[in-house]
Amino acid sequence: MTETALPGWVQAVYASWAVVGAYFIIAALAAHRIKVREARSKRAHDILLIWGGYALLFAYISPSASIWNVAFVPADFAAPIGLAGAAIAMAGLALALGSRIVLGRWWSGTVALKADHQLVRSGPYRVVRHPLYTGLMAATLGAALAFGFWHSLAGAALLWIAFLWRARREDTLLAGQFGPQFLDYRRSTGRLLPRRNTAPLFSGSALYAAGVFGLGVILLFSSRFGGPVPTWPALTLALALASGLAMVVASASLFAHGAERWAANVLLWNFLGWCLLLRLPAIIADPLTLGSWANLGEPLLLLVAAWLLLRPIAPRPRVIPRVLFGAFVILTGAEHFAYATYTVGLVPGWLPAPMIWTYATGACHIVAGMAIVTGVFGQIAARLWALMITIFTVLVWVPRVWATPAQRPMWTELLMSAAMAGAGWVLAASYRASAEAARELRTHA
């Protein structure tokens, strides 16, 4: 960072914190009066930890003061890590702001009970007891990553200690006030994170969610889609921002207890929009070109994964999503042969005979796709295909991102490959889930 201008992501973090902080201060004027508060000694510890943490987190002195501003982020990775940190900070602040709005007049700046205090169980409090602290912890970590200095990281650590300590004390206070009502609430929620979804989770769904989350972050900061898109600048910008936000929130919610169907629905409609608005126009304009159809494949595979996650337990085979998935796996294999001169460039240089690898992987795509479409050895084919894409992600895209960490297209390819690998694992697990559901149905018939 220079003395004349801070990076854009740092300015965005400062501005976001300022806006949220201003709201907290103004909204505090309308809060109910405090009826019960903690001992002064505990409040003093809070003040030291919180204000000391914020002072370290946000302190900025001229870069010439090298003893103070020591960066923990390598210079080559400052931009991608800074952007990721800013995204985490903004997402955390959004959660904290939403939680504060839901609390309304029962919010307090200290651990206390208000007059006529009520146990809030709506909004994010439906799945987490202290989502405001969850949001602030994410926001402080994101800010530390965006700033990149050790003193900022130390400040975030102090704030985490303060928020964790506060959450435990608030649980004790609420348990004493509300008794069995709070104990019942505590059994169904997590303190800072939702209780893990107890429904059967597909193998690889975490990889799918991580890839989609990363793609959403890139969309939010670049405000533009990769690949061919219609020439509608204003609409494309609005779609990119809306889609990026939907992907970030929904992918992060996939494992939240009670929110998984909502999250899968959001992702399904999001990727359906990609297919219809961003890819279909190119197919209509040039239906005989393989590339036009192949560009539809990536969002379609992500759509199918969301479709399968929407109903993870189904006694009947999921024919339509599997046929769609398999058809575009076949198309991907055809691309390896039609565009071999491009695909061969993706083969790692240390592998011998790169053209043979190109054709061999293309053939594997086609065979796997046919098995998935027909259902003959479909589960085995889906697993092997998912394993192949996972290996591609590690061997092809991870080294490229490592070599050029500041290039957005490399990150996009890495994250898309990870999401597609996750989608493959989701598909593979759907076979077993369907078989187990059918078996249970027969048992109870």
Write the secondary structure of the chain as one string of H (helix), E (strand) and C (coil): CCCCCCCHHHHHHHHHHHHHHHHHHHHHCCCCCEEEECCHHHHHHHHHHHHHHHHHHHCCCCCCCCCCCCECCCHHHHHHHHHHHHHHHHHHHHHHHHHHHHHHHHCCCCCEEECCCCCCCCHHHHCECCHHHHHHHHHHHHHHHHHCEHHHHHHHHHHHHHHHHHHHHHHHHHHHHHCHHHHHHHHHCECCCCCECCCCCCCCHHHHHHHHHHHHHHHHHHCCCCCCCCCCHHHHHHHHHHHHHHHHHHHHCCCECCCHHHHHHHHHHHHHHHHHHHHHHHHHHCCCCHHHHHHHHHHHHHHHHHHHHHCCCCCCCCHHHHHHHHHHHHHHHHHHHHCHHHHHHHCCCCCCCHHHHHHHHHHHHHHHHHHHHHCCCHHHHHHHHHHHHHHHHHHHHHHHHHHCCCCHHHHHHHHHHHHHHHHHHHHHHHHHHHHHHHHHHHHCC
Q: Out of 41-55, 178-192, 212-226, pick the least confident.
A: 212-226
In angstroms, the Cα distances linking 57 to 77, 83, 93 are 20, 17, 15
Task: Please state the rounded mean pLDDT for residues 215-225.
Answer: 77
pLDDT band at 202 (very low <50, low <70, confident <90, very high): very low
Residue 1 confidence (pLDDT): 41
Res. 332: pLDDT tops 80: yes
Task: Please state the rounded mean pLDDT for residues 393-409.
Answer: 84
Angle between helices 319-338 and 290-310 (to 10 degrees): 150
Q: Domains of the chain (ranges plus CATH)?
A: 8-188 (1.20.120.1630), 205-443 (no CATH)
Res. 329: pLDDT tops 50: yes
> What is the value of pTM for the model shown?
0.61
pLDDT band at 315 (very low <50, low <70, confident <90, very high): very low
pLDDT band at 280 (very low <50, low <70, confident <90, very high): confident
pLDDT band at 403 (very low <50, low <70, confident <90, very high): confident
Q: Out of 57-61, 186-190, 254-258, 426-430, pick the least confident.
A: 254-258
Average pLDDT of the chain to the nearest whole number: 81
Res. 363: pLDDT tops 90: yes
Residue 155 confidence (pLDDT): 92
Task: Please state the rounded mean pLDDT for residues 39-50.
Answer: 78
Residue 346 confidence (pLDDT): 82
Q: Provide the 3-class DSSP secondary structure of residue 228.
A: coil
Task: Please state the rounded mean pLDDT for residues 214-223.
Answer: 80
